[in-house]
Structure 1
Amino acid sequence: MKIRMLKPVFVMVVILTAGIFSCQKINIVTTTTTATNLVGYMEKDPATYSEFLKIIERSGTSSYLNAYGAYTLFAPNNAAVKTYLQLIGKTSVEEIDPDQLKLLVKYHLLSDTIRTPQFTDGKLPVPTMHGEYLITGVKNTDGVSRYVVNRSAVVLTPDVRVGNGILHTTDHVLIPAQKTIAKLLEENTSYSIFTQALKATGYFKTLDTLVYLNDTTARWLTVLAQKDAVFQAAGIASYEALKARYSNLGDPMQPKDSLHLYVGYHILSGLKYVADLVSAPAHETLAPQEVVLTALRGDTLRINEETVAGVFEKGVDVNRNSSDLSATNGVLHDVSAEVYIKVRKPTPVYFDVADQPEIRKLTAKFRKVGNFVTFNLGDLADITWSAGTVTYNCYAPDPTKGAYYWNDWITPSSLRTRAGQNNWIQFKTPVVIKGKYKIWVSYRRDAGGINCQVYFNDVLMPRLINFNDYRYGASTITDEELQSQGWKRYSATAAFNNTVMGCKMVGTADVTTTGRHLIKFVPTGDVGGNTNIDMIHLIPEDMDQFKPRFASDGSLVY
């Protein structure tokens, strides 16, 4: 059975604004000021900010916001605060508990400088200091478009630059999530069948709590919910009809019952807003070893679009206007049609090792040419190593010498066998669908990382990789000849032919379970120097190993 190769969108930065912002003119006035800090600026305009300043003062955060730093503050104006007080049944800020106000301030504050050009149709790149993400978009009123936050607060005065950050004035107070995903669904009667199914399978309880894996790490969840109208369009008029169609054991509480698996398939591990869903081609669900596939089509996020046996399956659209709903334990999305478990075929994974969650949050550094950031042991959740540091690099491309994908790469402390030095480095991959894959390692040659053994889930691959090696005479032979020798051109520039960038196959891995896996490099030589790792490709063994190629501007060449 032939399956269409899905584009590896998770190695691309998807510009979500293209479809929604490009056709709308947004009036933005950038303000400059001599105020030294956020509080100082607001104090000069009590007619706009006096009520929010009361919140800041009563919450005990005034001195914090007076300090040096790099913040973004969404400051509601006086009318917004008064509306908020009416909403919660209070007549003044003084009637609200200071601890509650402190949380409110944190929800309006980000520990990074985010200007409106960085706003997208979706979540902001960094969370608030409350720990939740804000959602931005555009609202058009009487022919005038303005940015809107959390679908309610219009940005009236954007991008005020002060000494310790950026201030955006809004016409509503931003209110943190108050309900779990389960409660959001239960209180919306249009999800009655889906909610009944959650309760019958036990998943309602799972979605009604925030579980901590340890003292600081929460287990966030993401739900693809179906309204009653979606079920009815599929010929399912009630929960009883849903159970009759899917429950093969008659007991949906049983983990192996088909209805239990069906509902679990609608729940994804992790906190995944639309921007996160488009950043990877596959996402794990609570149905064991089952994933949903995602792809961006224009400005539409589509679930499970593929071609099977020559038949194109359009997939299911995510309703953007009713998705990205934050809850206390995750995020809720709404889908336009029924989502159900399908048999998956292996699909290529083009793993950009420099695209890590902690690095992506550093918006002033990530994929910004001319920057580097050094990380210590424990700083990166999905990269581990034995000693020293790991450096993220992003520099201007030189097509003849250094043509990294997206201009960035990872350099660990010198990979060598000497005691006390960095004796190994390990990466956790994105989700890989079970199957057999050829593994290719893409790099720029340098002095370090001599004759590294490569392990996939502790299984030793048959070939060593020498990060100081390259293929002589590469420009004179064909792709087929290169592959027969364990090499390929992966860069869309001349750098490979100039014996600078290399991509070498280390073996074929049998991926027995769908999920995330570990790739480890262990040097066998004791030579100091840099090791520059750009990408790792995992390509099904029966698929084209040569295309696409990867350009330094993030584009793909087929």
Structure 2
Amino acid sequence: MKKLRPLYFLMLLIGLGACEDPYQDSTFTAYEDLPISLLLESQPERFSLWVELMQHGDMYNTLNLKDSYTVFVPSNEGMQQYLEENNWDKVSDMSPEDAAYLVKYHTIHSALISQSQFENGVINDRNATDDNLSIEFREGGLNAIYVNGLSRISELDVVATNGIVHVLEEVLVPVRATIWDKIQADRFSIFREAVQLTGQADLLHTITEEGLDSQGNPVQYRIRMTAFAVPNEVYAAHGINSLGDLVTVLGVEDESYLESSNKLNQYISYHLLSQLRSFSDLGEFPEGETAKNINTLASNEVINISDQAGQLVLNFDRESEEGVGFMEPNVNCKNGVVHIMDSWMPLFTPEQVTVLWDLTDYADLQALCDQYQNSSLNSTYTRTINQEEVSCYRWKSTPEFRSNVVSYRNNRGADGIWYQDALNHDHLRLDLGPSGWIEMDTPVLIKGSYEVTMVYLSYTKSSNTGYLQCSMDGKRLGSQWPVSNSKYDRKLERRMTSSFTFEETKSHTLRIVAVDGELLTLDHIRFTPKD
């Protein structure tokens, strides 16, 4: 767990981070159209209570700023229902702090998210309380889109001069429950007892961790995980009616439950991912593929995800033609998401599949970067990484005190055709210096032979530069090649290497050496199984 321990970054937006409105004297008024607060105030029959809430929490002027916001706004009927449920007669019965928090929870800053960008799952852009809202499509098309599985959107894409408003029927109650809290329900007692016995309850209850930034200042890192939870009724269908039954079925030989090699510990770790993966994230496959494998917290164990006749299925067994389905996906939690599964989901060894390894796909980076794998940025986001901040990268630059050696870049969608094919909208930038190197661990790969393809962003130079050499587990991987070009402005390049055979199913170590020390802009590596 030390190696996989995620550090999750919590940064409150400056303009939205305090209860006192910091922009009271900085608002603007458009002549023909209106910013969000004035727009809502112009329709008191629909939004007067929400306007009162914004004023009570000193957020009214913030949402009049010339900026970009996506706001989910409950109608007066929804607000009245919320007040009654909390035994409040009027908005002012709430504390100003609670009022501000509620407005922030409904607000996404620096992003314009229209209905056309909605997907079934977690919204990539976090709201102003640093949480992820989720979208759920139900039968009924655009008239049946729900936020957090609770509130229906009654009107989509109301455009203001500084953002987009989506009208809700009900107030979104801020999610404060952790994954551990969610599995406290009686129906999860067996799964919960196993989590506790294996010492992973604290991990599933953690929201933030304390740390230091590169200047030694204290910061909080945000935990975001995924759990595949199994309810008691599913265990019962397989003859498992207690934790003791589960231990017996798994063939646990001793009571060293805290050890990673213990079969119960492996089983629970197998149900946990170190990053937040919504239902829609899980359903994204490499181009031309209908299956993929994903890492779990269980050492060298992966879950297979495939599309079976239009249904997303885990660990599909071709012999029995059965797999693990979703009873209830996307249960939002403060520290991630829970998917409730319809099988007890024992460990499963899948076949080889094509693996697209995004070189930025690490929990450390998801924690550290304020914007991460985001497709809807208004401006390019770059984060310089320091060695003491992450465990996913290990490097030695030339000279060793070189600055800005490793950077994460998440580009905005408008940055050009050359970038739109980059996996997950980001890439890794390396300035290692001559003969400098960096190491990182691959996803778990099923043993066998693969064709290995390096995909990188090629930048313009008068002559070839950015030569690199790769090795896998200490064995040379292909020949040297440059990542620059002299023909195009920028484009996505693919460089084939020789095939490589992995004798064991496990993670492997990739080393990249910067031969000439010039900039390397790397996107992902594709492992294609060979017959």
What is the TM-score normalised by the length of structure 2?
0.74
Give the aligned residue type for 2:272: I
- The SS at the match of 1:251 is coil
Q: CA deviation at 1:450?
A: 4.7
Q: Does residue 1:253 correspond to 2:257, yes or no?
A: yes
Deviates more, 1:438-447 or 1:38-47: 438-447
* Corresponding residue number in structure 2 for 1:244: 248
Within a 5 Å distance, the mapping from 1:102-501 to structure 2 comes to 102-111=100-109, 112-140=111-139, 145-187=143-185, 189-212=186-209, 214=211, 215-251=219-255, 253-255=257-259, 256-279=261-284, 281-297=292-308, 299-307=310-318, 311=319, 313-319=321-327, 322-351=328-357, 358=371, 360-363=373-376, 373=380, 375=382, 377-378=384-385, 386=405, 392=411, 395-396=416-417, 412=429, 417=434, 430=443, 432-433=445-446, 437-442=450-455, 447-456=463-472, 461=477, 463-467=479-483
The separation in 1 between residues aligned to 2:234 and 2:374, in whole angstroms, is 36
Q: Decide whether aligned partners of structure 1 residues 408 and 84 sit closer, same or farther in structure 2, where only a CA change above 3 A counts.
A: closer
Q: Decide whether aligned partners of structure 1 residues 507 and 271 sit closer, same or farther in structure 2, where only a CA change above 3 A counts.
A: same
Give the aligned residue type for 1:263: I
Q: CA deviation at 1:86?
A: 1.6
- The SS at the match of 1:270 is coil
Q: Decide whether aligned partners of structure 1 residues 343 and 534 sit closer, same or farther in structure 2, where only a CA change above 3 A counts.
A: closer
- The SS at the match of 1:342 is coil
Q: CA deviation at 1:124?
A: 1.8
Q: CA deviation at 1:79?
A: 1.3
Give the aligned residue type for 1:218: R
The separation in 1 between residues aligned to 2:524 and 2:504, in whole angstroms, is 22
CA offsets 1:270-327 (integer angstroms, 9 cap, x no match): 22221222346333323222221222345532111254xxx365321122xx221112
Q: CA deviation at 1:451?
A: 3.6
Q: Decide whether aligned partners of structure 1 residues 160 and 425 sit closer, same or farther in structure 2, where only a CA change above 3 A counts.
A: farther
Q: Does residue 1:514 correspond to 2:527, yes or no?
A: no
The separation in 1 between residues aligned to 2:122 and 2:424, in whole angstroms, is 25
The separation in 2 between residues aligned to 1:336 and 1:243, in whole angstroms, is 19
Give the aligned residue type for 1:228: N
Of the candidates 499, 524, 536, which is equivalent to residue 525 of structure 2? Answer: 536
Q: CA deviation at 1:147?
A: 1.9
Q: CA deviation at 1:502?
A: 4.9
Contact 1:391-1:412 at 8 Å conserved across structures: no
* Corresponding residue number in structure 1 for 2:53: 55
Q: Decide whether aligned partners of structure 1 residues 426 and 108 sit closer, same or farther in structure 2, where only a CA change above 3 A counts.
A: farther
CA offsets 1:392-425 (integer angstroms, 9 cap, x no match): 586448xxxx99678988595888749xxxx667
Q: CA deviation at 1:453?
A: 1.8
Contact 1:457-1:518 at 8 Å conserved across structures: yes
The separation in 2 between residues aligned to 1:389 and 1:276, in whole angstroms, is 20
Unaligned runs of 5+ in 2: 1-29, 212-218, 286-291, 396-403
Q: CA deviation at 1:343?
A: 3.2
Q: Decide whether aligned partners of structure 1 residues 462 and 118 sit closer, same or farther in structure 2, where only a CA change above 3 A counts.
A: closer
Give the aligned residue type for 2:514: P
Q: Decide whether aligned partners of structure 1 residues 523 and 144 sit closer, same or farther in structure 2, where only a CA change above 3 A counts.
A: closer
What is the root-mean-square deviation in Å for CA atoms of aligned residues? 4.0
CA offsets 1:518-545 (integer angstroms, 9 cap, x no match): 645433237x7x86656422245xx15x
Unaligned runs of 5+ in 1: 1-31, 366-371, 471-494, 545-558
The number of residues matched between the two structures is: 459
Contact 2:57-2:96 at 8 Å conserved across structures: yes
* Corresponding residue number in structure 1 for 2:497: 505
* Corresponding residue number in structure 2 for 1:368: none
- The SS at the match of 1:114 is coil
* Corresponding residue number in structure 2 for 1:26: none
The separation in 1 between residues aligned to 2:409 and 2:197, in whole angstroms, is 47
Contact 1:386-1:425 at 8 Å conserved across structures: no
The separation in 1 between residues aligned to 2:187 and 2:407, in whole angstroms, is 54
Give the aligned residue type for 2:223: R
Q: CA deviation at 1:442?
A: 3.7
Within a 5 Å distance, the mapping from 1:32-43 to structure 2 comes to 34-43=32-41
CA offsets 1:111-160 (integer angstroms, 9 cap, x no match): 2111111112222231212122112123457x983322112211122111
The separation in 2 between residues aligned to 1:508 and 1:81, in whole angstroms, is 60
- The SS at the match of 1:323 is strand
- The SS at the match of 1:127 is coil
Of the candidates 70, 88, 93, which is equivalent to residue 68 of structure 2? Answer: 70
Q: Does residue 1:99 correspond to 2:97, yes or no?
A: yes
Give the aligned residue type for 2:405: S
Contact 1:213-1:219 at 8 Å conserved across structures: no
Contact 1:71-1:165 at 8 Å conserved across structures: yes
Give the aligned residue type for 2:316: E
